[in-house]
Amino acid sequence: MSGGTIAGRYELGERLGLGGMSTVVVAFDTRLERYVAVKLLAEHLADDQQFVARFRREAMAAARMVHPNIVQVYDFGLDDQTGRHYIVMERIVGPSGAQILKDRGRLPVDEAVDWIAQACRGLEYAHRNGLVHRDVKPGNLLLSEADGTIKLADFGIAKIASDESSITQVGSVLGTAAYLAPEQAAGEEAGPAADLYGLGVVAYQLLSGRLPYEAQSLTELALKQQREVPRSLHQLDPAIPGALSVAVERALALNPKQRYGGSADTMRTAVLDGARGIGPDEDATQVVGGWDDDATTVFAGEPGTAPLVVPREPRAPRRAAPPVAAPAAGRESPRARAERSAAAQQAAAQQRQGRRKRGAFRRFVTFVLLIAVLAAVGAAAYVATSQKDNSVHLRQVVHDDADQVISDLKQLIQDNTR
């Protein structure tokens, strides 16, 4: 449609982007004499009246977002001549985060932190106004070359938090798979914490040049999210402060409640502090732990496939990083102190995990012995029915100490098998 006109005032130019739901082109607003970006919805969506109604309602909500870190929506409507629904937006001259990653691979810590902090400001404003983005990814973060501002773009699949209606119903999956929060992959309701997860993935990628989870399908991604812990950013690159690594990993927590309480402003503060070597006392392995509600998760999977039911189990903690030696002389820097503290906490977490495993083994042994006791008591009962002078000896075996339980069970077996 290059060279055409929309709504009698927007002269369409070259294409800027193409997606499954829309095409974005640069346009000139003849009325206000300025360049804008126009998003044209795919023609097949124009026949879905329910989609169009919801889209209009949510486009109005996005148009009310006026913030330096959010791409401004100027206008939207239906062009009578072409039958195309359109959105007119602020035109940003500069690369997206996806282009930055493609061209440069990754960003230095200070530059990446600036991207994350500015994106947090935009999300905080949107969340305060009841709008959840639901598709935070590098391609939707734009760098304005004019002033270095990072802007959140494309609220096209956003959801109004205070309204039950949205472009998609609960149970469907939207967004780019790699940046989907676990609750989104499960087809559950996506709140502000889902946006923080997506931004956490973006932060991990900007700092390391890689995704926290590499998966070929939505199902594989969901399984990895449940069972694995991403490798620490500080382990991938020691130049990344350990406190910053913890701050990013908190955004990747499996449980939405553990992602800064859904507060983008709190995440921004943690990331900025982390870049200076200031971080929380807790170990990152404590942050990315499991859910605290249902014992299973049902994943939507790919279209045409059956749902996958997976137990929600705590993910194994990563190996502890090598201890950081204290400085030989002089005052210890905040960064070194934070890194040494993080290493010590990771070692402590590994020890706690070892104790839990030993406890689990003892419980397993106790269970096996209990089965043996039941078999022995059953045999003794059979003997008692044929020999009247014999009787079955039973007593209660309850102890907190697994070793004492095992000892008592052995004695009980001997009493009933003499």
Kindly list the catalytic residues: 135
Max Cα–Cα distance, the chain, nearest Å: 108
Can you tell me which residue has the tokens 């999300």? 123
